[in-house]
Structure 1
Amino acid sequence: MFLVLSGLIFCILILRFSILRSFVIEITEHIIVIKYYHPVLPRHYTPVLEMPITEINNFQLDRLMAMNFFKIVISKRNKYRIFCYRLDRISKDQLIILQREINSVLSNHNKKAYL
C-alpha cells in the first residue's frame, strides 16, 4: 500500500513539475507580448500573445480561489475576444506593480486595467 501511494505521489509531482511554467509580460509603448517558459529548463520562451495595444479594449487582473488570472479583452473588426492567462506564484505586491505598469501604458491610450 505504501509503495502504491508513494508511486502515485511521485507521478503527481512529476506531472505538476512538467506543467510548471513562469511568465514574462513585456509591455512597450505600442505592443504587449506575453511569453511562458519553464523555470528550471533552459530559457526557451514560448510567446502566447503578441498584440498591438491599440486593439486591446480592456485588461483585468482577477483573483479566483487563490489563483490569479490576467484577462485581456480585444476588439477587432467589431468582435470581442477574451484571452485569459494564469499567473502562478505571484504576490499581491507584484499584482499591484503589474496593474500600475499596465495603467501607465494604457493611460496613453485612454484605457484602464482593473484589479
Structure 2
Amino acid sequence: MGNGVCSRRQRRIFQSLLLITVVFGIIYGGMISYEMHKQLKRTEAMAAKYQQHQESLSAQLQVVYEHRSRLEKSLQKERLEHKKAKEDYLVYKLEAQQSLNKEKVGLSPQL
C-alpha cells in the first residue's frame, strides 16, 4: 500500500464518480436553463397578448367616453330646448288667458 488512504483503484472510481456527477450536474443545469428560457418566452408572449388586449380595451373605453360625452351634450341641448319650449308655452298660455279675460270683460257689459 502507498502513502494515501485510498488506493489507486479507489481514487480512479472516486474521480470517475466525481466526473459523472459534474457531467450530470451540467446536463441538469442545461435542462433547467432551457426550461426556464422556454417558460420566459411563453410568459413574454402572454404579456404581449395581455398588453395588446389592454390597449384594445383602452381604445374601446375611449370610444365609450367620447360617445357618453356626445350624449351628455345632446341631453343638455334637449333640456335647454325643452325648457325654452316650456317657457314659450307658459308665455303663450298667459297671453291666451289674458286675451280670454279681455274678451270676457268686453262681452260682460254688453249682456
What range is the shorter-chain TM-score in?
under 0.3
Q: TM-score, normalised by structure 2?
A: 0.25
Q: Report the structure, 1 or 2, having the larger strand content.
A: 1
Higher CA-based Rg:
2
Higher relative contact order (CA 8 A, sep 6+): 1
Q: TM-score, normalised by structure 1?
A: 0.24
